[in-house]
Amino acid sequence: MMNGNGNSLGTPVLVLNATYEPIHVCGARRALILMLKGVAAAEELSALQVHSATRAIDIPSVIRLLEYRRIPRQTRALSRKNILVRDRHVCQYCERSFSAGELTLDHVMPRSRGGNSSWENLVACCRRCNNQKGDHLPEEVGMELSRRPRPFNLHTSRSLMRMLGHHQETWRKYLFY
């Protein structure tokens, strides 16, 4: 199968469990494979298509699994990338958005004072704020976290789906706004 613009198969698709509960976001390529295998059905279609030599297939915007899947407690690996995704590429002190290359990770409780590298102690931070904070606690230098850091869990994933849903009108009725 070939696609017209080269990016159609990477388009995000919302995946619902058989109970219509949002559980994942995958690429259009994966969604089409699940549909062709008979594992999922399209609930909403996008305006995009992929073309083969003999036919055009509409790319879904939302798919639903045909059988209920028990979703185990989801945890994510602690990594720089996942911290930045959790914090939405926003400095947790000055609340400004930055690209990944412009952000650092800050230990809220500095390592020099026994702070560890954990979901609850790491936040996205711009270079200016990180330099200002140094090896102090935020309150010691008059800084405040915009929100308390938490592990990246299913609730976090759902909030990211809602954020993506602002760009995907067809997702809204499935994301419990």
CATH number 3.40.50.11400 is the correct assignment for the domain at 80-141: no
The DSSP 8-state label assigned to residue 67 in this structure reads S
Q: How many CB atoms lie within 10 A of CB 16?
A: 20
**Mean pLDDT for the stretch of residues 126-137:** 96
Query: Mean pLDDT for the chain?
Result: 87
- Domain extents for the chain? 2-72+154-174, 80-141
What gap in Å lies between CA 4 and CA 57, rounded to an integer?
A: 12
pTM beyond 0.75, yes or no: no
Say whether 176 sits in a helix, a strand or coil. Answer: coil
What gap in Å lies between CA 56 and CA 25, rounded to an integer?
A: 23
1, two tokens? 């199968």
pLDDT greater than 70 at residue 23? yes
List phi, psi (to 5°) of 168: -115, 90
Contact, 146 vs 95, CB < 8 A?
A: yes
**pLDDT (0 to 100) of residue 61:** 94
Q: Which of 30, 6, 31 is nearest to 170 (CA)?
A: 31
pLDDT greater than 90 at residue 175? no
By the 10 Å C-beta count (0-12 exposed, 13-18 middle, 19+ buried), 21 is classed as: middle
Which pLDDT band, with edges at 50, 70 and 90, does 63 fall under? very high
**Mean pLDDT for the stretch of residues 33-62:** 94
**Predicted confidence (pLDDT) per residue in 26-45, tens digit:** 889 999 999 999 999 999 99
Contact, 149 vs 120, CB < 8 A?
A: yes
**For the chain, how long is the longest CA-to-CA vector?**
68
Tell me how long the chain is.
Answer: 177
Checking phi first, is residue 6 left (phi over 0); if not, alpha (psi -120 to 50) or beta?
Answer: left
Which pLDDT band, with edges at 50, 70 and 90, does 2 fall under? very low
